[in-house]
Amino acid sequence: MSEKPLLDIKNLRVTFPTRQGEFEAVRGVSFTLGRERLGIVGESGSGKSMTGRAILRLIRPPGRVEADRLELEGIDLLSLDEKAMQKIRGQRISMVMQDPKFSLNPVMNIGDQIMEIYRFHTGASKKAAYEKATEMLEAVSIRDPERVMRAYPHEMSGGMGQRIMIAMMLVTEPEILIADEPTSALDVSVQTQVLSIIDRLVRERGMGLIFISHDLNLVSAFCDRILIMYAGRIVEVCEAARLNEATHPYTRGLLGSLPRLDEPRKRLSVLQRDADWRETESVSGRQ
Amino acid sequence: MAVAENNGTGRRASPRFLKVLVKILKTLGSVLITMLGLMFVTFLIGRVMPVDPVLSVVGERAGKDVYDAAYRAMGLDKPILVQFGYYLWDVLHGDFGISLLNARPVAEDIKRVFPATMELATLGTFFGVFIGVPLGVVAAVKRGSWIDQVARVVALVGYSMPIFWLGLMGLLIFYGILGWVGGPGRLDIFYEDLIPTRTGMVLVDSLLAGDWTVFKNALSHIILPASILGYYAMAYISRMTRSFMLEQLSAEYITTARVKGLPERTVIWRHAFGNIKVQLITVIALSYANLLEGAVLTETIFSWPGIGQYITTALLSADMNAVLGGTVVVGLIFVLLNIFSDLLYQVFDPRAK
Amino acid sequence: MSQTDTRKPTLREWLLTDTPTSRFHARMAALYNGWLTLRSNTMAMIGLGILLFLLLIAAFAPWIAPMDPLAQDLGGRLAPPGTDGHILGTDSLGRDILSRLIYGSRITLYIVTLVAIIAPGVGLLVGTVSGYIGGWTDAILMRITDIFLAFPRLVLALAFVAALGAGIENAVLAISITAWPPYARIARAETLTIRNSDYISAVKLQGARPLRIITKHIWPLCISSLIVRVTLDMAGVILAAAGLGFLGLGAQPPSPEWGAMIAEGRRFILDSWWVATMPGLAIFTVSLAFNLLGDGLRDVLDPKEGGS
């Protein structure tokens, strides 16, 4: 791809000091993100969520984020001070998290929560923010947005909560959306709906999407490109369409452990882990 | 699908109101039982008292027939539950009996002394809230920093120090040695009875009368006992604030607020603090109740003519009606403060479903 | 202690094992681990140190105290610290304050020990019975608990002492009566979670009776949270006892109870500050020690509530 990437990451590391010494949650991850849908797949503890949070510099001390390069359209994110970083967060890079039950503020009504981010970044009037917020709620297929604006998060179902979260995170029209397991906490029946809303908005606005999930199937159906992470490293990078050609034993193992309708098996294979995977160098996802 | 969900929220609106109502009724019911129990306990305490209530009324030299008449008139020949019924009836009518010490109705005495305690406890709570809450928030935000350690030590010392001793030390240093504050009592003797009593709280009354000299004098007297009570309130409030804040700061919606790019000050005060406000009111109500109790010992030290001093003086002269009256009143206030904070919870916390 | 290893392990190794060989072994290993955690908590160790020191002082009071705590010397009354071998001075009757403090530690320990046995004992009994039987028993017992919780503790204790008469034993009783409800709450909560666990069902299937289940299976599991609570409460108990003593409702003169000593010194506070100051410092030190130890124990025994 010759187009200049939105996000350029080289050798990203996230470290936490513990009593037993330093723990590296992310150990040298490199990739770029264009105006595409990039999936990051891995089991829990593989460092996929940490990668997402590190991009927004949301790792709290004593945790540390280091990288040879962490750039958003040429801006070095690691050298920005906290104030400049606040302008990036929410404005240019947003994130949707797993469970709207916990990720929305329970004692603020929904309208205030959406208007807060919009007004903070644009300085818009209350009235303009209100209109923009209702408009955004409509864009995520919420009927009667006026009433939802006045409601509190606990009055919403999971699917609605997540759509509200998406509306809130996209109201400032950021260039990149990080979706961290956005559908794992939802009922299967509303998962597709939420996914298609994300898909539509990302396409319409020409955004870059980082889709973090443990669900290889979902990611391969939804994304353009997939990074497979294991123990803080990228073990394999491949086009979603050519996932079947993946070569790394971990990826093959993940594929093999999925039940398939077209190839019914008596027993699903159990993933055998190899200590070597942990030690081999990270594969680069840079293009 | 969206339609169905929207209807869902619509349906919830009115049952929520009903649910709150039922909860309030339930709370009131359990409070009623608690109050009954509270009065039963004080009633029983009064009955095991080694002092003969009849003798204290009729006097030592009364004859047998006088004694027996008084005995029956006081209902002491009836079964204990019936006696309790009488007692309850009297208390409900604001009658705690006659003080053996000054032959005045206990209820009137309590009415007279209570504002002094309220004045003290209220000012103490103010100190506690205005220092304790910010201290707790900062300690939580900067967990493990020097300020967190200082807050911890301040609270630990507060939990460990006898309040009457701290009061004495305060008197010794700030009154005896430095002479910065007024001594025991509410006013210097030559300021007493200069202003009309309206609320019974000297600070308020002197302001109402527009008398600044009296106000200043009253302030110089109340500042030390109120600060000492305030220190205990602060120790408690700052600890609770800290632990509430720590819980909220690790919540996912705080990450959301940071993702939104909000400055840390907004994240902490609008989002995290916004979530502990109602809990905090409960804590403040509890701490107010505790200060009423702390006032018992503090008032003794500072010769503060409030309910605490009233109860302790009555105790030492075995004036049981006064002791029980005071105990019931303080207990009732305790219970009322508890329901008050409970109801606040039901009404103001959108999460209380 | 069964041994397959040819080399006999040191006591430390035996205690740090990952694979205990018996129930006793496992219990000792858990205790040792807790001890290691506690030992790394400097504050808790300071608290423990102070309390051990207090215990020694109380035990050897007659040998440590420089003078008779009751011996009056009206000629040498209100002597400031350092006069005539009175390290902490003398009180209004010329009694040596240091000696009185040393003997007073016995009274403090006596009160603390009694309350620490009675209050949690009653609470444990009420809480487990309430939680295990449930139904009406539970409703009534918990209502009673609530009534006692509704009282301001010190005021209730005052009323009880007033009714029972002043004295150490009555003060202990009054404090215990006001202190048991929180333990009942804790014990009940623990019982409710334990009652429905699988291993209790297993014990029931083996035919164990409620009494046996409560005493052998539920009580041991309630102990650790109760111990934490007791340790943290002891500071409050000391303060309450001192408060009663100060009001003249606890230990009676001439007994060298610390709270009563402060009351005595109160009259001379402006001229002879040491008389009231010294016993206050003693009370403060001991209750601080209990608070420090309690905090540390909470981290070890009850990690869910603590947080470093």
Would B47 be classed as within a structural domain?
Answer: yes
Would C32 be classed as within a structural domain?
Answer: no
Q: How far is A89 from chain B (nearest CA, A)?
A: 4
Q: Does C46 touch chain B (CB under 8 A)?
A: no
A56, A82, A116: residue with CB nearest B259? A56
Q: How far is B204 from chain A (nearest CA, A)?
A: 37
Q: What region, left, alpha or beta, does residue C90 occupy, with left being phi > 0 and alpha being psi -120 to 50 degrees?
A: beta
Q: Do residues B40 and B167 both lie within one domain?
A: no
Could you tell me the sign of the dihedral formed by the alpha carbons of B265, B266, B267, B272, in that order? Answer: positive
Q: Which domain holds residue C112?
A: 42-66+93-305
Q: Does C156 touch chain B (CB under 8 A)?
A: yes
The reply to whether residue C287 touches residue B301, judged by beta carbons under 8 angstroms, is no
The reply to whether residue B169 touches residue C280, judged by beta carbons under 8 angstroms, is yes
Across A134-151, average pLDDT: 89
Q: What is the CATH number of the domain that holds B262?
A: 1.10.3720.10
A103, A147, A193: residue with CB nearest B252? A103
C150, C259, C291: residue with CB nearest B34? C150
Would B1 be classed as within a structural domain?
Answer: no
Would C16 be classed as within a structural domain?
Answer: no
Would B214 be classed as within a structural domain?
Answer: yes
pLDDT of residue C296: 83
- pTM, two decimals, is 0.84
The reply to whether residue A105 touches residue B258, judged by beta carbons under 8 angstroms, is no
Would C73 be classed as within a structural domain?
Answer: no
pLDDT digit string, tens, across residues A161-184 = 898 999 999 898 888 999 998 888
Q: Does C288 touch chain B (CB under 8 A)?
A: yes
Would C110 be classed as within a structural domain?
Answer: yes
Q: Does C160 touch chain B (CB under 8 A)?
A: yes
Q: Do residues B286 and B330 both lie within one domain?
A: yes
Q: Do residues B171 and B294 both lie within one domain?
A: yes
Q: Which domain holds residue B55?
A: 15-92
The reply to whether residue A86 touches residue B9, judged by beta carbons under 8 angstroms, is no
Number of alpha helices (DSSP H) and beta strands (DSSP E) in chain C? 13, 0
On the CB side of C170, how many CA atoms lie within 13 Å of its CA?
Answer: 19
Largest CA distance in chain B: 89
A58, A102, A143: residue with CB nearest B251? A102
Burial class (CB in 10 A: 0-12, 13-18, 19+), B139: buried
Q: Does C242 touch chain B (CB under 8 A)?
A: yes
Give me the tens of pLDDT residue by residue for chain C, a chain 308 residues long. 444 455 677 777 777 777 777 778 887 887 888 788 788 888 889 999 999 999 999 999 888 888 888 878 777 778 788 777 778 888 888 888 898 999 999 999 999 999 999 999 999 999 999 988 888 888 889 888 888 887 778 888 888 887 888 888 989 999 998 899 999 988 898 888 888 888 888 888 888 888 888 888 888 888 877 888 888 889 989 999 999 999 888 888 888 999 999 988 888 888 888 888 999 999 999 999 999 998 888 877 765 443 33
Q: Does C304 touch chain B (CB under 8 A)?
A: no
Query: Is residue A98 over pLDDT 90?
Result: no
Would C249 be classed as within a structural domain?
Answer: yes
Domains identified in chain C, total number: 1
Closest to B235 (Cα-Cα) out of B307, B174, B150: B150
Mean pLDDT of chain A: 85
Q: Do residues B49 and B167 both lie within one domain?
A: no
Divide the 353 residues of chain B into consecutive groups of 10 and give the mean pLDDT of each group: 41 64 80 84 76 67 76 75 84 82 85 91 94 94 89 91 91 89 82 78 84 88 93 93 92 91 91 89 88 86 90 82 85 83 76 61
Give the residue from B92, B114, B144 where a domain finishes: B92
Give the residue from B92, B126, B156 where a domain finishes: B92
Would B345 be classed as within a structural domain?
Answer: yes
Task: List C-alpha distances in Å: B27 to B263, B352, C140, C148.
Answer: 41, 14, 16, 17
Would B238 be classed as within a structural domain?
Answer: yes
Q: Do residues B40 and B66 both lie within one domain?
A: yes
Domains identified in chain B, total number: 2
pLDDT of residue B52: 67
pLDDT digit string, tens, across residues C197-246 = 888 888 888 888 888 888 888 888 888 778 888 888 899 899 999 999 99
Closest to B188 (Cα-Cα) out of B142, B210, B219: B219
Would C282 be classed as within a structural domain?
Answer: yes
pLDDT of residue C302: 60
B contacts of A88 (beta carbons < 8 Å): 261
The reply to whether residue A89 touches residue B351, judged by beta carbons under 8 angstroms, is no
Would C195 be classed as within a structural domain?
Answer: yes
Q: Do residues B172 and B321 both lie within one domain?
A: yes
B contacts of C158 (beta carbons < 8 Å): 296, 311-312, 315, 323, 327
C303 vs B261: CA distance, rounded Å? 34
Q: Do residues B183 and B296 both lie within one domain?
A: yes
Q: How far is B9 from chain A (nearest CA, A)?
A: 6
B contacts of A147 (beta carbons < 8 Å): 6, 9-10
Q: Which has the higher per-residue pLDDT, A261 or C210?
A: C210
Return the percent helix, strand and coil in chain B, to nearest 5: 80, 0, 20
Q: Which has the higher per-residue pLDDT, C52 or A268?
A: C52
On the CB side of A112, how many CA atoms lie within 13 Å of its CA?
Answer: 14
Q: What is the CATH number of the domain that holds C280?
A: 1.10.3720.10
Q: Measured in whole angstroms, how far is the alpha carbon of residue C138 from the centre of its chain?
A: 27
Would C215 be classed as within a structural domain?
Answer: yes
Q: Which residues of C122-159 are buried (b: 16+ CB within 10 A; e: fewer)?
A: bbbbbbbbbbbeeeeebeebbebbbbbbbbbbbbbbbb
Q: Best of A86, A162, A197 to disrupt the B interface by mutation (most B CBs within 10 Å)?
A: A86
> Chain B 233-262, CB below 8 Å of chain A: which residues?
251-253, 255-262
> Chain B 310-349, CB below 8 Å of chain A: which residues?
349
Residue B125 has which token pair?
């709570």
pLDDT of residue B56: 65
Q: How far is A61 from chain B (nearest CA, A)?
A: 11
pLDDT digit string, tens, across residues C117-143 = 999 999 999 999 998 888 888 888 988
Would you tell me how many other CB atoms lie within 10 Å of the CB of residue A246?
21
Please indicate whether chains A and C are in contact, defined as at least 3 beta carbon pairs under 8 Å. Answer: no
B234 vs B133: CA distance, rounded Å? 8
Would B8 be classed as within a structural domain?
Answer: no
Q: Do residues B70 and B132 both lie within one domain?
A: no
Would B10 be classed as within a structural domain?
Answer: no
Q: Which residues of B226-263 are buried (b: 16+ CB within 10 A; e: fewer)?
A: bbbbbbbbbbbbbbbbbbbbbebbebbbbbbbbbbbbe
Q: Do residues B342 and B278 both lie within one domain?
A: yes
Q: Do residues B122 and B178 both lie within one domain?
A: yes
Cβ–Cβ < 8 Å for B209, B193 = no
B281 vs B322: CA distance, rounded Å? 32
Q: How far is B4 from chain C (nearest CA, A)?
A: 38
